């Protein structure tokens, strides 16, 4: 998730030479600026609605053609410029700046992959250039080409280490990559209609058509991010206008196929009907855990995903039938060059390995699998709630996303229409992550994963409470205040808790 060529900016990490007191002054100053903009914006609550052309949510906007029946849940987000729906070409962009800080917290020991116990603050910048062209404009068999260019700058706190539910989804997990622009997505998107009835669809970065058949088959092939199509949730998916934590915006137990930037090459087939959808995706796995390179030999390494989506109210007679609800059931199977935590633990105890090292016990025959549930429900004109559950077998190493074997999540958001700020939003979510016993033992014996490892472990679930306020300032400009309270960082009850505070600015072009 990163910046576009035209909007590329180098956002350097704030130097650690400054004291924490200076960091707090910076955070206070930025917060004051946000509140000042808010005050000036308050007299014009209607401006947002008058300039609301098309949604440009990123980094993982819901593909507008996927679920037209659910689109009315949320109005299109305003952008800086109006985007015409009458042309076959599409160009847009976004930029997202996040400043995060935490104070010193209880940390009797730490290791190479620990969240640093001393206070620190870091900033990141991500931006994207979205390009698209409709090659065939007939809605019955629509064909389009999509191309996205990105770049990233800055760093995450502790180099994005020490937390299974890391606090900034924009951060690239490999700090050596730098802000050099790169190809994020390039894909062909084909729609094949099975009914004459057409329904409205929003034009956006992932789908350009404004009318689609109610019953249809959608095919995508090329470079993509699997969360573009799977595990979507209109309340907890977008790190640029909603929550920021990795395991709030995605199912933490879904170890989806991707390189360290979150992208892969693959193909997705999706069937959409009036009230349900089903999708299947096949994608390349990285050659090593959290690696930059992908393994192109599909017979030995691949990620397969299947998801069923049912669009129906969840609360029965407790809420009006007009209040929309969605349930999604996800399953996945990964084949890759992975190791077993148990093998690494046995080799260390037997004296074969000086330290537990799962990379010494990897094999191409390894298979990791899991499933997830994802639900959301509109309760009133302003209130929506959502939840997730995820599980994977946990015996094999965490390989592509993060180090979570089980996760629970519950949260919601409340629109600012109640106080005359239609495009403002406040959200809160609670996430609880866990790992299996072999994974616990590996960390307790001193092993390191690609994200966590304190040199020892007094195990407890990693619990995260996150809240945000997203302020619409002017056209496509937004400011947010966010706080994340994490207990047992890295599953270690000897360390923490820690409060991570954030200020975010987002612009849709």
pLDDT tens, residue by residue, 434-450? 999 999 999 999 999 99
Residues 32-58 have a mean pLDDT of: 35
pLDDT, residue 116, reads 97
Task: Report the pLDDT value the prediction gives residue 70, as an integer from 0 to 100.
Answer: 40
What integer pLDDT is reported at residue 174 of this predicted model? 75
Q: Contact at 8 Å (CB) between 121 and 21?
A: no
Contact indicator for 456, 444 with CB cutoff of 8 Å: yes
What's the pLDDT band for 12 if we cut at 50, 70, 90? very low
**pLDDT at 373 exceeding the cut of 90:** yes
Q: What is the pLDDT of residue 459?
A: 98
Rounded Cα distance between 71 and 74, Å, is 6
- Has residue 160 got a pLDDT over 70? yes
Q: Helix, strand or coil for residue 242?
A: coil
Express each pLDDT in 87-119 by its tens digit: 999 999 999 999 999 999 999 999 999 999 999
pTM equals 0.84
Mean pLDDT along residues 274-301: 96
**CA angle at 254 for the pair 249 and 257, rounded to the nearest 5°:** 105
Q: Around Cβ 452, how many Cβ atoms within 10 Å?
A: 28
Averaged pLDDT of the chain:
87
CATH superfamily, domain 20-508, is Porin (2.40.160.10)
Backbone angles phi, psi at 78, to 5 degrees: -65, 155
Calculate mean pLDDT across residues 122-137: 96
Residue scoring higher pLDDT (63 or 508): 508
* For residue 405, pLDDT beyond 60: yes
With bands split at pLDDT 50, 70 and 90, how would you rate the model's confidence at 75?
low
Q: Cis peptide leading into 186, omega within 30 of 0? A: no
Rounded mean pLDDT, 382-408: 97
Strands (E), 155-289: 182-193, 198-200, 211-213, 216-224, 264-272, 276-283
């Amino acid at each position: 998730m990163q910046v576009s060529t035209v909007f590329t900016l180098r956002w350097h990490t704030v130097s650690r030479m400054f004291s924490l007191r200076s960091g707090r002054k910076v955070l206070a100053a930025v917060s004051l600026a946000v509140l000042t903009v808010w005050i000036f914006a308050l007299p014009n609550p209607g401006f947002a609605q008058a300039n609301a052309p098309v949604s440009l949510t990123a980094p993982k906007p819901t593909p507008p053609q996927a679920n037209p029946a659910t689109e009315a849940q949320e109005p299109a987000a305003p952008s800086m410029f109006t985007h015409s729906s009458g042309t076959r070409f599409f160009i847009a962009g976004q930029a997202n700046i996040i400043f995060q800080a935490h104070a010193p917290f209880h940390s009797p020991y730490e290791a190479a992959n620990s969240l640093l116990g001393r206070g620190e603050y870091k900033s990141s910048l991500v931006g994207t250039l979205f390009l698209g062209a409709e090659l065939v404009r007939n809605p019955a068999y629509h064909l389009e080409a999509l191309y996205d260019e990105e770049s990233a700058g800055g760093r995450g706190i502790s180099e994005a280490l020490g937390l299974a539910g890391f606090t900034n989804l924009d951060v690239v997990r490999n700090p050596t990559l730098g802000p050099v622009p790169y190809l994020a997505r390039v894909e062909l998107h084909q729609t094949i209609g099975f009914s004459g009835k057409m329904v409205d669809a929003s034009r956006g970065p992932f789908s350009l058509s404004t009318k689609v058949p109610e019953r249809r088959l959608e095919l995508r092939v090329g470079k993509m991010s699997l969360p573009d199509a799977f595990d979507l949730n209109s309340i907890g998916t977008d790190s640029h206008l909603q929550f920021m934590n990795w395991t709030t915006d995605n199912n933490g137990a879904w170890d989806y196929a991707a390189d360290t930037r979150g992208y892969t090459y693959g193909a997705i087939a999706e069937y959409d009907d009036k009230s349900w959808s089903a999708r299947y995706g096949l994608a390349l796995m990285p050659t090593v855990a959290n690696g930059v390179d992908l393994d192109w030999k599909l017979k030995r390494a691949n990620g397969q995903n299947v998801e069923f989506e049912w669009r129906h109210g969840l609360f029965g007679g407790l809420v009006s039938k007009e209040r929309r609800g969605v349930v999604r059931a996800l399953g996945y199977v990964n084949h890759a060059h992975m190791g077993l935590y148990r093998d690494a633990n046995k080799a260390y105890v037997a004296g074969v390995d000086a330290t537990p090292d799962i990379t010494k016990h990897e094999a191409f025959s390894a298979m990791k699998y899991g499933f997830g549930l994802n639900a959301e429900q509109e309760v009133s004109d302003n209130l929506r709630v959502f939840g997730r559950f995820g599980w994977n077998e946990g015996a094999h190493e965490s390989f592509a996303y993060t180090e979570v074997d089980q996760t629970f999540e519950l949260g919601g958001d409340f629109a600012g229409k109640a106080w005359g700020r239609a495009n403002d939003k406040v959200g809160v979510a609670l996430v609880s992550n866990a790992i299996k016993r072999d994974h616990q033992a590996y960390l307790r014996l001193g092993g390191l994963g690609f994200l966590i490892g304190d040199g020892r472990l007094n195990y407890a679930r990693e619990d995260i409470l996150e809240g945000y306020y997203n302020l619409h300032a002017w056209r496509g400009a937004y400011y947010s205040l966010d706080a994340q309270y994490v207990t047992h960082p890295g599953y270690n009850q000897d360390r923490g808790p820690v409060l991570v505070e954030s200020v975010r600015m987002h612009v849709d072009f």
